[in-house]
A and B are shown apart, each in its own frame.
Chain A
Amino acid sequence: MTKPSQYKVIGTRPIRHDGVDKVTGRAVYGADVQLPGLVHGKMLRSSHAHARIKSIDTTSAEKLPGVFAVVTGADLPCLAGKMANLGEGAINLAHLSQNCLADTKVLYKGHAVAAVAAISPHVAEEAVKLIRVEYEPLPPVMELLAAMQPDAQLLHDDVFTNRLGEKSARPSNVSQHIHLEQGEVDQAFAKADLVIEREFRTASVHQGYIEPHVSIAFWNADGHVTIWTSTQGAFTVRQQTAELFEIPVSRITVIPTEIGGGFGGKIPVYLEPVAAALSRKCGRPVKMTMQRDEDFQGTGPTPGSVVRVKLGATQDGKLVAGQAWLAYDAGAFPGGMIGPGCMCVFSCYEIPNARVDGFDVLCNKPKTAAYRAPGATQAAFACESVIDELAEKLGIDPIDFRLKNAAKEGTRRPDGEVYRRIGIIETLQAVKQSEHYRSKTSGPNVGRGVAAGFWFNVGLKSSAAANVNNDGTVTLIEGSTDIGGTRTSVAMQLAETLGIAAEDVQPHVGDTDSVGYTDVTGGSRVTNATGKAAYQVGLDIKQQMAARAAIVFECKPEQVAVEGGVYRHQGQALTFKELAGKLPHIGEPVVGRATVDAGGATNGFGVHVVDLDVDRETGKVTILRYTAAQDVGTAIHPSYVEGQMQGGAVQGIGWALNEEYVFNERGEMLNASFLDYRMPTALDVPMIETMIVEVPNPEHPYGVRGVGETPIVPPPAALANAIYRATGVRMRELPMSPPKLWKAISRSAPPA
């Protein structure tokens, strides 16, 4: 599709500003940071999934030559009862601290218990082995529904169920019960012609970012702490660390390094406070790098879930009622992804009568963290599978069924949100008309599945500033760590506003001392919110440049007309570059600045189509063709938009087919490596085709919607629906791995 563009820079595909450094290996990641006197930290992790710590003896470790410091939970302040808002709602600081270093209990295998700083990583490893911990093992609570039982073994005695603001009488592993309701649900179900209710399960999965967690901390003798770290948000690391040590934020500088993927998993702190505590003790900078098994076992996966969805429709395919029950495991501490799960379960459709109950459930697994559209994929797997079954039973094409019921401007979600202009209908129509969807599938074990998905794009706070250089370039400093090409997408919006080339903007991600407050890179917000800040920086610069032009033109600033980067007055004209060249001689330097609090979520919708082949004898799925369509508002840099859609789809495919934490009865993860935690490789997926749909977001100057997260949401349901078409078997448990699919096929049809 080509169409004349109203833009000069937006919609083009310039080479990313950080590209050369990344392909030549010059980009500085956390592991590359070297400092004089640097020593190496190593964590001792719990070998039990659930146990009380009776004692920790660090004397032998401390005596080992080459060891500089040993820390345990006792080296962090006691924060019992303290709460803080770290941008994701109020959290219990004691829990955050205990997750970094356990105090009286270990709550999952891999839970950090103590740490050593030593002259080399090898000496640190040897010293860790010398730490003696006496445990009193407790029964591990691993199964979600069992954890919810009133007589279940408790993880915490200070966690109670919060139900609509009311606290339960007794402590519980259920930390929260969310209830949403609209319309007359029971009456509506009674009137439906067809009601289908199903139960679904999903396993814990990990973001699988390629770069393990790594942090370097230096606690200077003057009390100032500097942290270099691989994070999605320098300011949240600063805030969390300040809270954990009870020191003012101004005593901490966080320098975000390049980041090799995060997907939500690099928002909480893990290593930063521990490296800081070690550095405070030994007076040297301390570097801590996780090994892959530590990333799996010691950082947040995304929740496993049990979800029941019930939907009612009329004979002609109109959804009239919906009900969902969702339980998500939060891992060892409260605060999983149940909130967004509840908001997302019915978010693609207009369901006037709906009820949603959601439960945040503790169990002896690592504390969960966000993972790309956190909570939405589990919910969509359930809802989109039931939608597919309804469409099939009613004899309606699955896209047509979704079109009949798709959410639109004015649709109210069960959580109360009323949609503004959204693009799910346009996306469904694009898929319906696509060559892929109109083509025929062939082969005895081949099936096609479709599914839709939704995710919010949050706004939140961003700051940016830019200096105009006298060679006509602009140096942009923003605070959003770049995990998806956002430096370039943000720079392009500034370039568009100024009427200059993308290459003439040099974007930099600043540290917490050199850029204004900026929230995390998450919630698909950066191109939207930081992009908006860049646009406003552009307006600010334009105004200042017009004032400088007025000096040259000898007129009033308001008399200068600016268009396409050219400043004019009565036959005189200066390009941005020419004007910039005159800056040293005409008035003050030009520095633009802007801060935004881009409140309110906009919304991204995607629809995926997959053709796949099932080997009935082995249960192995081969993906033949895959198309991801999405309303992206406006594609600033189409290649990065496509890349996000492809990457999200591949992660969703992995979640659908093979990825899972495998635990034994003692709660030990058995597959904490990329060998046995099976993410898709390049040979496991075809080229993911993409269809960019553009329904501009009315609240963004360039119509941007967030893109990054939605694409992980549809794949598991799309694959399950395709597997059904291929085999006649409905898979309701993730992953749909070969042994499980083989078993389901052989149960459904005895061998011919």
Chain B
Amino acid sequence: MKDFEYSAAATIDEAVSLLARWGDRAKVLTGGTDLIVQLREGQREADMVIDVKKIPQLMESSYSREKGWRLGAAVPCHRIYEHAEVADAYPGLADAARIIGGWQIQSRASIGGNLCNASPAADSIPILIAYHATCRIAGPNGERTVPVAQFCVGPGRNQLARGEILVSLDFPPSLPRSSGAYLRFIPRNEMDIAVVGVGSWVQLNARGDAIEAARIGLGAVAPTPLVAEQASLWLCGKPANDDTFAQAGELARLVARPISDKRGPAEYRTHLVGVLTKRTLAIATKRARET
């Protein structure tokens, strides 16, 4: 690891101008649970590390039933599942926040960092996609927004241009009879990277026996997290039962194009997409009925 400069920006403008000045040679630091490991192991290099945890907007988490939820990009995971209203309204993201590392990691690691790191296997991204979350980005030319589903462009690569930082993730309001769930498959019960991760969100009808809308996000089965578009659309109007969930799983499998690697063979990963889609839809539906 080589030496680098460190700067803790106090405002978005300061961070943006530092980033614009240093370009590729600068890296943003939130929890550092990806970045520091990568710097130490020589997977990334930096001459300047810009800590953004002192910027108020990046540390805010504001929720209202009507407006939805704004999650600052640097808010650590534990503040998600410990915030009762948020955990109630977006239980699928709480599922993810609870399994990213252990509690030491969760005290530092942010959802923003998880997303910006752009790992195909990142645990928060499939469920962010399922919840229709959008990224609010600040840069030298002001602010813009991008749906999470389009944010990652390749393994370890995201949409951000020179000088840009992720400020927050914005979630639409959580409506009655809707809910989400995230599951990953790992061979052990902790300390593993998802072999496959699936996040599902459903909106049920008034009687709670049919699906009005659904969205399924998939992780670790392509260079970037995916939306299982066809499966999501097919679900609209279908009865909310195990048969439907299993069939949706079959459809979700079709978009998976995983590789075989140390974490699992491609065939197995594709199979798991079916299993986890079915299981997350069942959990999301059960939760939606309880709202």
Contacts and interface: CB of A to CB of B under 8 A. Distances in A.
B207 interface: no
Contacts of A684: 188-190
Interface in A676-695: 676, 678, 680-681, 683-684
Interface stretch (B18-26, B81-89, B267-275): B267-275
Contact of B192 (A122, A125, A618, A675): A675
Interface string A124-142: 0110000000000000000
Given A670-B262, A739-B268, A675 B193 contact: yes
Interface string A708-739: 00000000000000000000000000000111
Most buried by B among A125, A618, A680: A618
Contact of A122 (B1, B185, B261): B1
Given A122-B2, A617-B275, A739 B188 contact: no
A737 B264 CA distance: 10
B271 A742 contact: yes
Contacts of A620: 185, 187
A681 B261 contact: no
Contact of B275 (A125, A618, A683): A618
A681 B275 contact: no
B264 to A, nearest CB: 5
B124 to A, nearest CB: 18
A671 B261 CA distance: 10
Interface in A653-687: 657-658, 662, 670-671, 674-676, 678, 680-681, 683-684
A531 B84 CA distance: 58
Contacts of B188: 658, 678, 680-681, 683-684
Contacts of B156: none
Contacts of A739: 264-265, 268
Nearest to A615: B275
Q: Which 3 A-B pairs have the closest CB atoms?
A: A683-B189, A739-B268, A670-B262
Given A675-B191, A681-B190, 17 more contacts: A122-B2, A658-B187, A670-B261, A675-B192, A676-B193, A676-B262, A678-B188, A680-B188, A683-B188, A683-B189, A683-B190, A737-B187, A738-B187, A738-B268, A739-B265, A742-B271, A743-B268
Interface residues of B, number: 20
B287 interface: no
A620 B187 CA distance: 7
B191 A674 contact: yes
Contacts of B264: 738-739
Nearest to A658: B187
A742 B189 contact: no
Given A618-B185, A678-B188, A684-B189, A662 B262 contact: yes
Interface in B164-195: 185, 187-193, 195
Contacts of A683: 188-190
Contacts of B265: 739
Most buried by B among A620, A658, A674, A739: A739
A617 B273 CA distance: 11
B98 interface: no
Interface in B186-223: 187-193, 195
Contact of B263 (A126, A676, A681): A676
Contacts of B268: 738-739, 742-743
Nearest to B42: A125
A681 B189 contact: yes
B129 to A, nearest CB: 23
A696 B146 CA distance: 73
Most buried by A among B193, B195, B268: B268
Contacts of A675: 191-193
24 contacts: A122-B1, A658-B187, A658-B188, A670-B262, A671-B262, A674-B191, A675-B192, A678-B187, A678-B188, A678-B192, A680-B188, A681-B190, A681-B191, A683-B188, A683-B190, A684-B188, A738-B185, A738-B187, A738-B195, A738-B264, A739-B265, A739-B268, A742-B268, A742-B271
A308 to B, nearest CB: 26
A9 B278 CA distance: 59
A612 to B, nearest CB: 14
Contacts of B190: 681, 683-684
B190 to A, nearest CB: 5
B249 to A, nearest CB: 10
Most buried by A among B188, B195, B261: B188
Most buried by A among B190, B191, B272: B191
Interface string B253-291: 000000001111100100110010000000000000000
A133 B188 CA distance: 40
A618 B272 CA distance: 7
Interface string A607-632: 00000000001101000000000000
A143 B263 CA distance: 21
B185 to A, nearest CB: 6
A204 B86 CA distance: 46
Contacts of B271: 742
Contacts of A674: 191
Nearest to A676: B262
Contacts of B275: 617-618
Contacts of A658: 187-188
A125 B187 CA distance: 34
A582 B185 CA distance: 69
Interface string A101-143: 0000000000000000000001001100000000000000000
Contacts of A742: 268, 271
Contacts of A125: 1
Contacts of B263: 676
Nearest to B274: A617
A681 B101 CA distance: 13
Interface string B1-19: 1100000000000000000
Most buried by B among A125, A670, A675: A675
Contacts of B187: 620, 657-658, 678, 737-738
A675 B41 CA distance: 14
Contacts of A122: 1-2
Nearest to B268: A739
Most buried by A among B189, B192, B261: B189
A675 B265 CA distance: 17
Nearest to B193: A675
Contacts of B261: 670
A678 B195 CA distance: 13
B198 to A, nearest CB: 12
Contacts of B272: 618
Contacts of A617: 275
A197 B263 CA distance: 32
Contacts of B193: 675-676
A26 to B, nearest CB: 23
A743 B2 CA distance: 45
Contacts of B191: 674-675, 681
B132 to A, nearest CB: 28
A597 to B, nearest CB: 44
Contacts of A676: 193, 262-263
A738 B2 CA distance: 40
Contacts of A670: 261-262
A122 B3 CA distance: 9
Interface in A117-172: 122, 125-126
B100 to A, nearest CB: 13
Contacts of B185: 618, 620, 738
A739 B262 CA distance: 11
A13 B275 CA distance: 49
Contacts of A737: 187
A742 B2 CA distance: 45
Most buried by A among B261, B262, B268: B262
Nearest to B189: A683
Most buried by A among B2, B187, B268: B187
Contacts of A738: 185, 187, 195, 264, 268
Nearest to B263: A676
